[in-house]
Amino acid sequence: MTKIVVVGGGVIGLLSAWMLARDGVAVELIERGQTGHEASWAGGGIVSPLYPWRYDPAVTALSEWSQAFYPALAERLLVEVGVDPEVHVTGLYWLDLEDEAKALAWAQAQGLPLEAVSLERVRAAVPVLGHGFARAIHMPGVANVRNPRLGRALRAALEALPNVQVHEHQVVTGFVEHAGRIGGVRTAAGAIEGDAVVVAAGAWSGDLLAPLGVTLPVEPVKGQMILYRCAADFLGSMVLAKGRYAIPRRDGHVLVGSTLEQAGYDKTPTDEALASLRATAAELIPALASAPVIRQWAGLRPGSPEGIPFIGEVPGRKGLWLNCGHYRNGLVLAPASCRLLADLLQGRRLEIAPSPYAPKGRLVR
């Protein structure tokens, strides 16, 4: 294929476009708002599923590939465009897990360095941790990426490539079909055509496909977060308890999140979520109880069955491809998902087994 139209300018769409363009494919990317400003901006950026042992192996396969890829990706983007996505390796402590034995057994089977540790050891690494915890497990190599900067770096990388065009603030209103094949999209500014169309529009992907009679089980799931500014050495590791986490950035910012809400496309931050997140912050790190929240926001995750993304061509719709439905793990799974998509589109040898993510048999009819 010589030209691909990518719909969606989050990290999945940006990275799909970047990988394809680096392979010599012409790409036009279309974003309804501003690139990198929906779920990709709003998430915490932990480069791991929150509880990887609870996920289908299809999710952990993408996660492990991506975790290995991220350091080189960040270094390449920094060198090429001067924007550092800040892949920050801090490790992660899980506290008071109900399924700790399952987690440890899973890690042993996977050959991963996850171990039970004493609370004394945790407090030596994280002196500000609260005192209401009894048990902990730790994985040392877990990183977080500063997702807004990753979005900016990928956008800059696309701008530097001569075979890429990025269209912001353009809403896709329909698809171009030629002889039963999808060959582009329609926007208010006119049609944009190519050899194939990739839908990577996150929580909005299902709405785009509905006029074609394709029912994609992807729906928005609201998540709210809050941000504190602390000293750069305030929090030495990511910590997670009861489904909530605290994430340190290199400059001392600490993110606390996140909620899980069924609220349609409403992204309005709420007082209820603020109170809940502040309570979580104080439980995890008591010193935050007296710290001001410098920002609160919400984003919309693309919820999907079991959190397994859709990657591949839509059956019965030649030329229409998907890379969407990553739920809570879009940042984690992006490199592997986009590599698989690019390899499938170009008919190359696959590094990742494609069948768990194929739309065939997984779309609602």
What gap in Å lies between CA 228 and CA 246, rounded to an integer? 10
Q: What is the pLDDT of residue 186?
A: 97
Sheet holding 26-30, edge to edge: 164-167, 26-30, 3-7, 196-199, 320-324, 310-313
The H-or-E segment that residue 88 falls in is strand 88-89
Q: Encode 130-158: b = buried (16+ Cβ within 10 Å), e = exposed.
A: beebeebbbbeebbbbbbbbbbbbbbebb
Q: Which option is the CATH number for 92-140+219-303: 3.40.640.10, 3.90.950.20, 2.60.40.10, 3.30.9.10?
A: 3.30.9.10
What gap in Å lies between CA 151 and CA 44, rounded to an integer? 13
pLDDT digits (tens, 9 = 90+) for 198-219: 999 999 999 999 999 999 999 9
β-bridge partners, 222: 261, 300
Q: What is the pLDDT of residue 180?
A: 86
What gap in Å lies between CA 142 and CA 91, rounded to an integer? 4
**Residue 365 binned pLDDT confidence (cut-offs 50, 70, 90):** low
Of the candidates 249, 269, 251, the one whose C-alpha atom is nearest the C-alpha of residue 259 is 269
State the DSSP code for 90. Answer: -
Q: What is the pLDDT of residue 244?
A: 96
β-bridge partners, 116: 137
What mean pLDDT comes out for the span 284-290?
A: 96
Give the homologous superfamily in CATH for domain 3-54+148-217+306-357: FAD/NAD(P)-binding domain (3.50.50.60)
Amino acid at 254: V
State the DSSP code for 358. Answer: -
User: Are 167 and 7 spatial neighbours (Cβ–Cβ below 8 Å)?
Assistant: no
Q: What is the pLDDT of residue 64?
A: 93
In whole numbers, what is the pLDDT of the chain averaged over residues? 96
pLDDT digits (tens, 9 = 90+) for 124-150: 999 999 999 999 999 999 999 999 999
What single string gives the DSSP state of each residue in 149-216? HHHHHHHHHHHT-TTEEEE-S--EEEEEEETTEEEEEEETTEEEE-SEEEE--GGGHHHHHGGGT-B-
The total number of residues shown for the chain amounts to 365
Look at residue 120 and tell me whether its pLDDT is greater than 60. yes
What mean pLDDT comes out for the span 240-247?
A: 96
What gap in Å lies between CA 128 and CA 93, rounded to an integer? 13
CA dihedral 264, 268, 272, 274 (to 10 degrees): 130
What is the percent of the chain with per-residue pLDDT over 90, rounded to a whole number?
97
pTM: 0.95
User: Are 114 and 107 spatial neighbours (Cβ–Cβ below 8 Å)?
Assistant: yes
Tokens coding 289: 């109880």
Tokens coding 108: 């042993």
- How is the chain split into domains, by residue range? 3-54+148-217+306-357, 92-140+219-303
What gap in Å lies between CA 311 and CA 109, rounded to an integer? 27
β-bridge partners, 137: 94, 116
